[in-house]
Amino acid sequence: MKDEAFENSVIYHRNQGWSIRRLGREYHCGRNRILRILRENEHRRSEGVNPLKEPRVYPSKLDPYKEYIHDVLQQFKNITVQRIFEQILEKGYSGRISIVEVYVSKIRQAKSHQVIRCVETAAGQRAAHDWSEYMIEFTSSEGREHKVIFFSYILGYSRRQYIEVVEDKTQRTLFECLVHAFMYFDGVAREIKSDNQKVCVDRWSVVSPYLTVTTLVLPRIMAFAPWRSIPESQQRI
């Protein structure tokens, strides 16, 4: 641990004319530590910052095979780590599979970041609603957690949001919450988007969902178009 009081004392007595040998003898520490403290202090005085140590890179048994692993992952995206491990064993690798697992995981994580596209809409054009469930421990629950369900309705243009705590996720509750959201915002968006929740989607065809009959009642009354997310675009709004 860095001892600033000790280092300040060493620097002070060095400025008073103490030799490196005397500093080591008086403070009961080695010559190299004294020199390191003085060099760091000189660097701070000249550069204004602490010197940054370059991280030491240790050689790995996997280094000769990393280029081969990259080529294999580009050619076979779904290949397992076990299969990669078996292939490099045949090429002379003598390390453990855990090293391969960590390296392959880093490569796949770096390539798996998906861009989340936020769709910009005109004011009043689109909104979206969804459920959220949380396990919450209340002060009166004696250490037990209770499931709390939230309904959320968010406007695509302004990102203003309406949130309501509900007891269930039935279609009746959904309709009530939507009406409450319309009253809160004093209006209805032209399009309202939801995910593939059971109260809205009965089943899927090849390219589009079949909405439940009762789901279409509220849009007809309130004059908005219901939208459904396909699985590949759940992150869009």
Residue 116 contacts residue 232 (beta carbons within 8 Å): no
> Please, is 165 exposed, middle or buried when counting C-beta atoms within 10 Å of its C-beta (0-12, 13-18, 19+)?
exposed
Residue 213 pLDDT more than 50? Answer: no
Would you call 88 exposed, middle or buried from its count of C-beta atoms within 10 A (0-12, 13-18, 19+)? buried
- What is the model's pLDDT at position 236? 42
Identify the top-confidence range among 146-155, 198-207, 219-228. 146-155
User: What does 136-159 look like in DSSP terms, one character per residue?
Assistant: EE-TTSTT-EEEEEEEEEEETTT-
Residue 94 tokens read as 């003598």
For the chain, give the mean pLDDT.
Answer: 80
24 touches 30 (CB < 8 A): yes
Q: Indicate the pLDDT class of residue 108, thresholds 50, 70 and 90.
A: confident
- pTM value is 0.45
pLDDT at 59: 87
> Region 3-17: what's the mean pLDDT?
86
Contact status, residue 72 vs residue 87, Cβ threshold 8 Å: yes
Q: Residue 174 and residue 166: Cα distance in Å, rounded?
A: 9
Can you tell me the mean pLDDT for 36-62? 77
CB 209 within 8 A of CB 231: no
Q: Residues 62-88: pLDDT tens digits?
A: 999 999 999 998 888 888 999 899 999
2 DSSP 8-state letter: -
Nearest residue to 211 via CA among 166, 177, 163, 174: 174
Type of residue at 108 = R
For residue 227, report the phi and psi dihedrals to the nearest 5 degrees.
-115, 150
Beta-bridged to residue 203, according to DSSP, are: 210
Q: Highest mean pLDDT range out of 16-30, 135-149, 191-205?
A: 16-30
Q: Which long-range contacts (CB under 8 A, 24 or more apart) does 221-227 make?
A: 222/178, 222/182, 222/188, 223/188, 224/188, 224/189, 224/190, 224/191, 224/192, 225/190, 225/191, 225/192, 226/191, 226/192, 226/193, 226/194, 226/200, 227/126, 227/191, 227/192, 227/193, 227/194
Q: Which amino acid is at 38?
A: L
- How far apart (Å, rounded) are the C-alpha atoms in residues 173 and 218? 13
* Residues 128 and 102: beta-carbon distance below 8 Å: no
